[in-house]
Amino acid sequence: MPSFNRIAIYGHRGWASSKITEASIASGAPIRIIYRPGSDSSSLPASVISVEVDVDDEKALVDALHDIVIVISLVGHEGVERQHAFISAIPRTEIGVNKAKRQVEEASIAAGIPTSLVLPGNFAEFALNTPIVYSGNSAKEVVDLCTRNYVAAAYAAIFASTPIAQLQNRSISISELKVTGEHVATTLEKKHGVPPRLSSLSLERVNSEVEEGLKSGSLFTLAWYCRKIWGTGQQAKMVGTDIWEVQGYEKATLGDLIVDAKLEAYRQLPPQVAEYFQETF
């Protein structure tokens, strides 16, 4: 019988985080949901403790984290800065591990909080639901992909009952399948009987877009950067060697996702993002 960790989850409603929350609850570990005033918690099972907290109220946050040993932060880009409130509160609790975003990793270390980072591959639901635009050498270079379900299963496996000493101060990678652009094109041809329509962007163009985007503060720079690191082979190298394998989980293949149509939809993109992607890629 495993000894479960007492886990608090912050940011339970997102496209990926909702699945991670579901899997964590199903693991049997005692889960406590921390949510902001006004956030909807009605979808949570009645058996799960949920606490509404203004994270800027340090005393209230410390009280909400009472007896918790792991905090998993799943907030999106807009909530990253709010994580600093946890960094202020955690030293006053018994928490040993906090899954933090990269943007607050240094602050966590400076505060003396043992931190575990989880680094999933690109979401297959996004990468495989977009047109094939080779960037640099992405036709030949490998990219690591993960389905949302695999990421959720991995989070539950990592945090539910793994001893704290085995988690702290690690960067843990999750990798479900490795593909190249050509692999994707070949699998699409197998499904439809005709080759897919392909286009390409030079690495020079991609680098230029990244540099200009950084200067201007463009919100779309990340999209170009992701193309750059695939096209140069850097993405596969960033995965590292500390890869967590989910025992007993049958990983998806390209055939499963494309030929057998098991690929799920990605979350709905904001109109301005969808328009930019359609016009640019």
Same domain, 188 and 263: yes
Residue 72 zone, left/alpha/beta (φ > 0; ψ -120 to 50; rest): beta
Q: For residue 162, tell me if it sits in a domain.
A: no
Single pTM value for the model: 0.85
Within a 10 A sphere around the Cβ of 242, how many other Cβ atoms?
10
Say if residue 142 is in the same domain as residue 258. yes
> Does residue 143 fall inside a structural domain?
yes
> What is the DSSP secondary-structure string of 95-118?
--EEE--GGGHHHHHHTT--BEEE
Same domain, yes or no, for 185 and 94?
Answer: no
Q: Which amino acid is at 202?
A: S
d(CA 8, CA 5): 10
14 and 66 in one domain?
yes
Which range marks the domain in which residue 55 is found? 7-114
**Which residues does 138 contact at the CB level (< 8 Å), separation at least 6?**
180, 181, 227, 230, 231
pLDDT means per 10 residues in the chain (281 residues)?
88 94 96 92 92 90 91 70 57 44 58 79 93 95 97 97 90 96 97 95 95 88 92 91 95 98 93 89 84
- Indicate whether 169 belongs to any domain: no
What total number of domains does the chain contain?
Answer: 2
Output the CA torsion 126→18→117→38 (10° steps).
120
Verify that 102 and 185 share a domain, yes or no: no
Kindly report the CATH number assigned to the domain that includes residue 200.
Answer: 3.90.25.10
Residue 88's CATH number: 3.40.50.720
Same structural domain for residues 92 and 137? no
With respect to residue 160, please indicate whether it lies within any of the assigned structural domains. no
- Name which of 87, 104, 150 is nearest 123 in CA terms: 150
